[in-house]
């Protein structure tokens, strides 16, 4: 990775100029499809992540509706057993890996650099590579529907059901290699975000002045960095079992199927926090802004997030309380799981305290954020009941658990992400979303969610196991199943309201968003909406937590906010706050001499090698010659990486613009943020955070 | 959205929920909150107070959220609330208070874990080896020479020690009214104690996803009085009588001819091991993973196309004629 940002050698500069020598001409289009395909701009990549994840969300949602239709009545006939198992497997895999994670990544990408006052992420082309690997991984996984059947072993893929004896088709192979590709995407972007946050914060932004969403991004990125390798190992072992006749999980040959469960959940539980922490961060941004109060106990919020991140590694066995691991292990994990509720509870009370005695404007983002606090609490409480291991013996693998994690991942993560979407939409697209439609969106979302998942608590306790494609009339589960299905369709309605809102707000009744529509607190609101492509004309100098708020307000003796005269947005501030940004994100960085990284084809090329290798592995299992395709894919990947390494991260200025500083000639401006001497950032997330501070 | 509309939505939800509860007056044979034996009772003794504590916290938090949303709504754009950045004492308070509550719960939790993990011992204990198969249950009584499928017969008031293992993938044995679930894992033996207070039939089913027909892997636990249980053992330990005449006799011949015998054991006649033991089939009320009631009509439907009735069933469609089916059923009906 270090090579990516090293200054190009003189040879590279002379042999690969921007014009017609080189392997491919360097893309230069500022607009149009190719500008998106070759972009390395963190904001565009963020939008690509968001749009792609939303499309997968629709796919996962349709799968959910199919499941609910099948279960609406006893002995349902909408899906057969085989189709049901494929659909529930893909629903879970989609929502975790292709929806919630990339939706969070969309905000990491777009917002985190703006929040910390940077011009881009540390490795812009690597960032593009992450996106393409994610997209190709998702498409690879979904192509299984057309190629003989989707995976049907559940998103948890328990051995030995996933062995070739019990799952001879290619579905599981697609799952294995699809997740490997997605794992590469996640790991690479986690490294990128960590390096960015530790090295590229604006001058004065100490870690404890970093906005809370960026903090949660940091914690989440560390969790991804450490959790993904575990699932990678597990998937490789499974691939060896399936492709090469290894017996890691085969009990008949001395292997251990329970080993899979340990590996999967050592990844799987931190994964839950990977999914929820970013949403917690979003909610922690929204609540203060719409309460006109700072976040209550910011340090405690940061440290409880860190505590959750650490403790999240010591609770995985609570997914395995019915495995029969013995009273000592069960007791230990029972206790650790219970006590992870403490930092979570602290967060909940701090959120409530943030709103307490505030001035609450119940706009759509705020409704979703408060809905998050209320719904996530329910998921947290049912989580504590799982920690009580004997309790769990009755509810694990039932619909009670389905209810629980939907209250965490839908009531939590998706409510939080929706809050984030409504909150940051004006910043991202420069357009206000319609409030009336937004509120309709929220209330139908809230109602549908509770109708769909609330009854599942009851169903589970009344004896309905998970992952069953049918149930008998005699079990007495009919009523709540029907209610749940109705709820699912109300959610579907709510999602269509959301899509209608986007269309309506952009095409029918467009309201241009000002730079700071919510009177917000963090730096991303100090620039125009949407931000110019170089983000900040001048890298801001940070003096306080909630820097932007402090530029607008000060506190009087009573602790009440008072407008700073001449501050952005105050009367008499005729320049308005987006004084640099009005010229928008064209090619008008001329006045500032800002030199951004250049677009590149190679992240796309390199990432394309991954699914090619994946197909080679999938079909290599049934016919050995197909392994040739793996070699082909590897060559594409390596070729892409080689060309990428040979091309400078930013082309030299062509038209003779004087760069702001001569030293930045062949370096993207972002490295020199704050006007320091350009030096390549540390290759690893070296703990050098305070240097960039005061 | 106004406060009135929010309240209206809320009250509508509550009303709808009450309506549904009142008309949901159905029997719930797999209700985990209705313990019918001491093992399940121990779990319930922990579950109920934990739910009570959770309910209190639920009401508290939801109350605070709602109160805050209603009480502190912005009424004028000039509002300038005091900027409170935190309060160390309060934050310490709501760190310690939940920790203390959890500490109390954890004491009872660990106690119950130790309790339910103690193995049943003593001369009175009934031992059963449980084997999970895709997708049916095999129950073997090693001290009594009985093998049966899908229906676990036990005496009331006596501890039953189950030794659980699997023949293929991971399953999970779960009779909710009698005990919590325990996984059934190939290459491992798990132990679980079971006890029923009253005679009766208790429903259960496999709780771990085990492939195509996971949903069709159900089970019954039938509790008898100790006398009736001894009688049941006597009947089931005896070999089957083989009919030689009439339709049943022809059915017995077909049972071998068509290959049924290579998968199914009928004590004294065949020794197949892939499928359920059929020696005393008619002692059972259900078949095929306890998915179907055992009667002539269901057997007929089943024999026409087993994988059509239970997806993925290892028992193939033998392309039997109606006449052959009639004869086979006549034979099966002699297996009393």
Nearest CA of chain B to the CA of A77: how many Å?
Answer: 12
In angstroms, rounded to a whole number, what is the distance separating the alpha carbons of residues B90 and B99? 14
This prediction has a pTM of: 0.90
Task: Answer whether A313's CB lies under 8 Å from B94's CB.
Answer: no
Strand B292-293 vs strand B286-287: parallel, antiparallel, or unpaired?
antiparallel
Indicate the class that CATH gives domain A40-508: mainly alpha
Contact: A296, B85; criterion CB under 8 Å: yes
Does residue A596 or residue A274 have the better pLDDT?
Answer: A274
Contact: A324, B24; criterion CB under 8 Å: no
Q: Is the pLDDT of residue B70 over 60?
A: yes
DSSP A658: P
Task: Answer whether B120's CB lies under 8 Å from B160's CB.
Answer: yes
Centroid of chain to Cα A141: 18
Q: What is the pLDDT of residues A62-119, one digit of tens each?
A: 999 999 999 999 999 999 999 999 999 999 999 999 999 999 999 999 999 999 999 9
Nearest CA of chain B to the CA of A402: how many Å?
Answer: 13
pLDDT value of residue A587: 45
Centroid of chain to Cα A388: 30
The CATH H-level (homologous superfamily) assignment of domain B246-332 is Cupredoxins -  blue copper proteins (2.60.40.420)
Q: Match 């500032």 to its residue by tokens.
A: A592
Task: Answer whether A666's CB lies under 8 Å from A652's CB.
Answer: yes
pLDDT value of residue B10: 65
Closest chain B residue to A366 measured between Cα atoms?
B69
Interface test with B, best of A157, A208, A324 (most B CBs within 10 A): A324
Nearest CA of chain B to the CA of A325: how many Å?
Answer: 9
Res. A32 pLDDT band, cuts 50 70 90: confident
Per-residue pLDDT, averaged over A252-262, amounts to 95
Contacts of B212 in chain A (CB under 8 A): 81-82, 85, 152
Contact: B191, A373; criterion CB under 8 Å: no
Contact: B87, A388; criterion CB under 8 Å: no
Closest chain A residue to B82 measured between Cα atoms?
A560
Cβ neighbour number for residue B10 with a 10 Å cutoff: 13
Q: What is the pLDDT of residues B190-224, one digit of tens each?
A: 999 999 999 999 999 999 999 999 999 999 999 99
Note if the bond before A160 is cis, omega within 30 degrees.
yes
Q: Match 């009005």 to its residue by tokens.
A: A582
Nearest CA of chain A to the CA of B298: how many Å?
Answer: 15
Q: How many CB pairs under 8 A join A and B?
A: 319
Nearest CA of chain B to the CA of A398: how many Å?
Answer: 7
Q: What is the pLDDT of residues B306-319, one digit of tens each?
A: 999 999 999 999 99
Task: Answer whether A3's CB lies under 8 Å from A644's CB.
Answer: no
Closest chain A residue to B32 measured between Cα atoms?
A461
A208 in contact with B at a CB cutoff of 8 Å?
no
In angstroms, rounded to a whole number, what is the distance separating the alpha carbons of residues A528 and A541? 18
Both structure tokens of A165? 């004896």
Does residue B14 or residue B120 have the better pLDDT?
Answer: B120
pLDDT value of residue A31: 81
Contacts of B31 in chain A (CB under 8 A): 461-463
Contacts of B211 in chain A (CB under 8 A): 85, 161, 166-167
Q: Match 């959910």 to its residue by tokens.
A: A64
A291 in contact with B at a CB cutoff of 8 Å?
yes
In angstroms, rounded to a whole number, what is the distance separating the alpha carbons of residues A295 and A675? 31
Res. B18 pLDDT band, cuts 50 70 90: low
SS3 A465: strand
- Looking at A147-156, A449-458, A574-583, which range is the least confident one? A574-583
Q: Is the pLDDT of residue B260 over 70?
A: yes
Contact: A385, B47; criterion CB under 8 Å: yes
- From first CA to last CA, the distance across chain B in angstroms is 68
Contacts of B109 in chain A (CB under 8 A): 331, 334-335, 338, 387-391
A201 Rama sector, left if φ>0, alpha if ψ -120 to 50, beta otherwise: beta
| DSSP β-bridge partners for residue B152 | B221
In angstroms, rounded to a whole number, what is the distance separating the alpha carbons of residues A40 and A429? 18
Contact: B105, A338; criterion CB under 8 Å: yes
Task: Answer whether B276's CB lies under 8 Å from B267's CB.
Answer: no
Contact: B110, A160; criterion CB under 8 Å: no
Task: Give the residue from A225, A258, A210, A17 showing the smallest Cα distance to A112.
Answer: A210
Both structure tokens of A139? 């498409």
Nearest CA of chain B to the CA of A480: how many Å?
Answer: 8
Contact: A161, B210; criterion CB under 8 Å: yes
Closest in A299, A339, A475 to B99, CB measured? A339
Contact: B102, A342; criterion CB under 8 Å: yes
> What is the four-CA torsion angle of A582, A585, A590, A594, rounded to 10 degrees?
110
Task: Answer whether A482's CB lies under 8 Å from A420's CB.
Answer: no
DSSP character string of A440-451: HHHHHHHHHHHH
Q: Match 């677009």 to its residue by tokens.
A: A599
Nearest CA of chain A to the CA of B262: how many Å?
Answer: 21
Nearest CA of chain B to the CA of A467: how many Å?
Answer: 6
Contact: B114, A349; criterion CB under 8 Å: no
Res. B122 pLDDT band, cuts 50 70 90: confident
Cβ neighbour number for residue B319 with a 10 Å cutoff: 9
Contact: A483, B110; criterion CB under 8 Å: no
Closest chain A residue to B3 measured between Cα atoms?
A362
Half-sphere exposure of B322 (CA within 13 A, CB side): 1
A350 in contact with B at a CB cutoff of 8 Å?
yes
Rg (C-alpha) for chain B, rounded Å, is 27
Contacts of A349 in chain B (CB under 8 A): 91, 94
Task: Give the residue from B149, B170, B133, B143 showing the smallest Cα distance to B222.
Answer: B149
Q: What is the pLDDT of residues A383-392, one digit of tens each?
A: 999 999 999 9
In angstroms, rounded to a whole number, what is the distance separating the alpha carbons of residues B83 and A468? 52
Q: What is the pLDDT of residues A626-654, one digit of tens each?
A: 999 999 999 999 999 999 999 887 777 65
Phi and psi torsions of A562, nearest 5°: -130, 135
pLDDT value of residue A595: 78
Partner B, chain A 480-509, Cβ-Cβ below 8 Å: 480, 483
Does residue B22 or residue A327 have the better pLDDT?
Answer: A327
Contact: B13, A451; criterion CB under 8 Å: yes
A390 in contact with B at a CB cutoff of 8 Å?
yes
Contacts of A153 in chain B (CB under 8 A): 209
Strand B126-133 vs strand A561-563: parallel, antiparallel, or unpaired?
unpaired
Cβ within 8 Å of residue B17, ≥6 positions away: none
Contact: A555, B83; criterion CB under 8 Å: yes
- Looking at A18-32, A216-230, B66-80, which range is the least confident one? A18-32
In angstroms, rounded to a whole number, what is the distance separating the alpha carbons of residues B245 and B179? 46
Res. A26 pLDDT band, cuts 50 70 90: confident
Contacts of B210 in chain A (CB under 8 A): 161
In angstroms, rounded to a whole number, what is the distance separating the alpha carbons of residues A119 and A596? 8
Q: Where are the domains of chain B?
A: 246-332
In angstroms, rounded to a whole number, what is the distance separating the alpha carbons of residues A71 and B246? 45
Cβ within 8 Å of residue A609, ≥6 positions away: A633, A634, A635, A636, A637, A638, A639, A640
* Longest Cα–Cα distance in chain B: 99
Cα torsion B134, B137, B142, B146: sign: negative
Interface test with A, best of B4, B45, B82 (most A CBs within 10 A): B82
In angstroms, rounded to a whole number, what is the distance separating the alpha carbons of residues A349 and A338? 17
Interface test with A, best of B60, B181, B184, B206 (most A CBs within 10 A): B181
Cβ neighbour number for residue A216 with a 10 Å cutoff: 32
Closest in B50, B80, B186 to A251, CB measured? B186
Q: Where are the domains of chain A?
A: 40-508, 598-652
Closest in B33, B82, B174 to A357, CB measured? B82
Res. B17 pLDDT band, cuts 50 70 90: low
Task: Answer whether A295's CB lies under 8 Å from A287's CB.
Answer: yes
Q: Is the pLDDT of residue A331 over 90?
A: yes
Phi and psi torsions of B170, nearest 5°: -80, 130
Contact: B312, A81; criterion CB under 8 Å: yes
Nearest CA of chain B to the CA of A101: how many Å?
Answer: 25
Task: Answer whether A421's CB lies under 8 Å from A481's CB.
Answer: no
DSSP character string of A101-152: HHHHHHHHHHHHHHHTT-SS-S-HHHHHHHHHHHHHHHHHHHHTTTTT----
Contact: B28, A463; criterion CB under 8 Å: yes
3-state helix, strand, coil in chain A (%, to 5): 65, 0, 35
Contact: A256, B58; criterion CB under 8 Å: no
Contact: B20, A483; criterion CB under 8 Å: yes
Does residue A679 or residue B129 have the better pLDDT?
Answer: B129
A83 in contact with B at a CB cutoff of 8 Å?
no
Interface test with B, best of A342, A461, A463 (most B CBs within 10 A): A463
Q: Match 């079909």 to its residue by tokens.
A: A619
Give the mean pLDDT of chain A: 89
SS3 A340: coil
Q: Is the pLDDT of residue A656 over 50?
A: no
Strand B136-141 vs strand B146-149: parallel, antiparallel, or unpaired?
antiparallel
A674 in contact with B at a CB cutoff of 8 Å?
no
Nearest CA of chain A to the CA of B138: how many Å?
Answer: 19
pLDDT value of residue A594: 77
Does residue A688 or residue B192 have the better pLDDT?
Answer: B192
DSSP character string of B155-199: ETTS-EEEEEEESSS-EEE--TTT---EEE-BT--EEEEE--SSS
In angstroms, rounded to a whole number, what is the distance separating the alpha carbons of residues A192 and B136? 50
Give the mean pLDDT of chain B: 92
């Amino acid at each position: 990775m270090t090579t990516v940002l090293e200054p190009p050698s003189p040879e590279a500069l002379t042999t690969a100029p921007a014009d017609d020598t080189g392997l491919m001409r360097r893309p230069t289009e500022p607009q149009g499809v190719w500008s998106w395909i070759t972009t390395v701009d963190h904001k565009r990549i963020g939008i690509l992540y968001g749009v792609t994840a939303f499309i997968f969300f629709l796919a996962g949602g349709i799968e959910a509706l199919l499941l609910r239709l099948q279960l609406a009545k006893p002995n349902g006939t909408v899906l057969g057993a085989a189709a049901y198992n494929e659909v529930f497997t893909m629903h879970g895999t989609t929502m975790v890996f292709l929806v919630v994670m990339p939706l969070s990544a969309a905000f990491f990408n777009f917002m985190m650099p703006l929040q910390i006052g940077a011009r881009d992420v540390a490795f812009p082309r690597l960032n593009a590579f992450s996106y393409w690997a994610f997209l190709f991984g998702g498409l690879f996984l979904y192509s299984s529907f057309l190629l003989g059947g989707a995976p049907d072993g559940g998103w948890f893929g328990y051995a030995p059901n996933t062995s070739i004896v019990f799952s001879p088709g290619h579905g599981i192979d697609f799952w294995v290699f699809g997740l490997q590709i997605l794992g590469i995407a996640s790991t690479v972007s986690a490294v990128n975000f960590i390096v960015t946050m530790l090295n590229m914060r604006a001058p004065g932004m100490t870690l404890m002045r970093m906005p809370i969403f960026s903090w949660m991004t940091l914690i989440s990125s560390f969790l991804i960095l450490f959790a993904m390798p575990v699932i990678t190992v597990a998937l490789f072992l499974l691939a060896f079992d399936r492709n090469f006749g290894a017996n890691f999980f085969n009990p008949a040959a001395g292997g251990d199927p329970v080993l899979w469960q340990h590996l999967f959940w050592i990844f799987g539980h931190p994964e839950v926090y990977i999914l929820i922490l970013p949403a917690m961060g979003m909610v922690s941004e929204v609540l203060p802004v719409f309460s006109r109060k700072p976040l209550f106990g910011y340090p405690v919020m940061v440290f409880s997030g860190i505590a959750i991140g650490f403790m999240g590694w010591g609770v995985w066995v609570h997914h395995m309380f019915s495995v029969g691991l013995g009273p000592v292990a069960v007791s230990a994990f029972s206790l650790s799981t219970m006590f992870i509720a403490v930092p979570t509870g602290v967060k909940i009370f701090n959120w409530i305290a943030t709103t307490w005695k505030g001035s609450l404007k119940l706009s759509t983002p705020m409704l979703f954020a408060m809905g998050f606090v209320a719904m996530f609490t329910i998921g947290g409480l049912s989580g504590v009941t799982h920690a009580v291991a004997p309790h769990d013996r009755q509810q694990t693998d039932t619909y009670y658990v389905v209810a629980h994690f939907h209250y965490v991942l839908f009531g939590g993560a998706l409510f939080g992400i929706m809050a984030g979407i409504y909150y940051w939409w004006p910043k991202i697209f420069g357009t206000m979303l319609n409030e009336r439609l937004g509120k309709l969106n929220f209330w139908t979302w809230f109602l549908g969610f509770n109708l769909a998942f609330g009854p599942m608590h009851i169903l589970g306790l009344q004896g309905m196991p998970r992952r069953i494609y049918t149930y008998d009339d005699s079990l007495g589960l009919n009523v709540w199943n029907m209610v749940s299905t109705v709820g699912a369709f109300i959610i579907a309605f709510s999602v269509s309201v959301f899509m209608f809102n986007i269309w309506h707000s952009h095409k029918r009744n467009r309201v241009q968003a000002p730079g700071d529509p919510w009177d917000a607190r963090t730096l991303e609101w100090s620039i125009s909406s949407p931000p110019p492509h170089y983000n900040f004309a001048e890298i801001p100098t940070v003096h306080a937590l909630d820097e932007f708020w402090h530029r607008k307000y000060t506190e009087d003796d009573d602790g009440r906010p008072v407008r700073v005269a001449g501050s952005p947005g105050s009367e008499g501030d005729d320049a308005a706050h987006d004084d640099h940004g009005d010229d928008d994100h064209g090619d008008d960085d001329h006045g500032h001499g800002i030199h951004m990284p250049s677009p590149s084809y190679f992240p796309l090329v390199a990432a394309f090698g991954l699914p090619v290798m994946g197909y080679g592995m999938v079909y290599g299992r049934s016919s050995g010659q197909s392994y040739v395709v793996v070699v082909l894919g590897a060559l594409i990947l390596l070729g892409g990486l080689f060309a990428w390494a040979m091309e400078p991260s930013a082309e030299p200025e062509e038209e003779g613009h004087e760069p702001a500083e001569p030293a930045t000639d062949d370096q993207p401006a972002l490295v020199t943020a704050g006007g320091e001497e350009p030096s390549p950032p540390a290759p690893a997330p070296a703990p050098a955070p305070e240097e960039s501070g005061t | 959205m106004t406060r009135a509309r929010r309240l209206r939505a809320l009250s509508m939800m509550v009303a709808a929920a009450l309506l549904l509860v009142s008309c949901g007056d159905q029997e719930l044979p797999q209700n985990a909150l209705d313990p019918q034996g001491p093992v399940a009772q121990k779990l319930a003794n922990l579950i109920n107070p934990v739910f009570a504590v959770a309910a209190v916290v639920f009401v508290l938090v939801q109350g605070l959220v709602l109160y805050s949303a209603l009480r502190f709504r912005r009424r004028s754009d000039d509002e300038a609330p005091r900027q409170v950045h935190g309060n160390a004492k309060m934050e310490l308070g709501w760190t310690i208070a939940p920790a203390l509550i959890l500490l109390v719960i954890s004491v009872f939790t660990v106690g119950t874990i130790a309790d339910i993990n103690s193995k049943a011992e003593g001369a009175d204990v009934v031992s059963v080896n449980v084997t999970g198969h895709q997708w049916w249950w095999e129950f073997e009584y090693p001290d009594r020479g009985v093998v049966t499928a899908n229906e676990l017969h036990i005496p009331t008031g006596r501890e039953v020690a189950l030794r659980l293992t699997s023949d293929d993938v991971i399953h999970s044995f779960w009779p909710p009214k009698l005990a919590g679930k325990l996984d059934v894992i190939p290459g491992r033996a798990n132990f679980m104690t079971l006890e029923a207070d009253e005679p009766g039939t208790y429903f259960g089913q496999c709780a771990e996803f085990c492939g195509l027909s996971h949903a069709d892997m159900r089970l019954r636990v039938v509790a008898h009085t100790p006398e009736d249980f001894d009688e049941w053992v006597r009947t089931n330990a005896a070999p089957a009588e083989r009919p030689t005449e009439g339709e049943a006799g022809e059915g017995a011949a077909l049972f071998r001819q068509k290959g049924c015998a290579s998968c199914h054991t009928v004590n004294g006649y065949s020794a197949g091991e892939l499928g359920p033991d059929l020696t005393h089939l008619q002692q059972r009320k259900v078949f095929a993973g306890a998915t179907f009631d055992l009667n002539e009509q269901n057997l007929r439907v089943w024999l026409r196309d087993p994988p059509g009735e239970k997806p993925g069933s290892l028992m193939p469609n033998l392309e039997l004629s109606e006449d052959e089916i009639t004869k086979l059923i006549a034979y099966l009906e002699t297996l009393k």
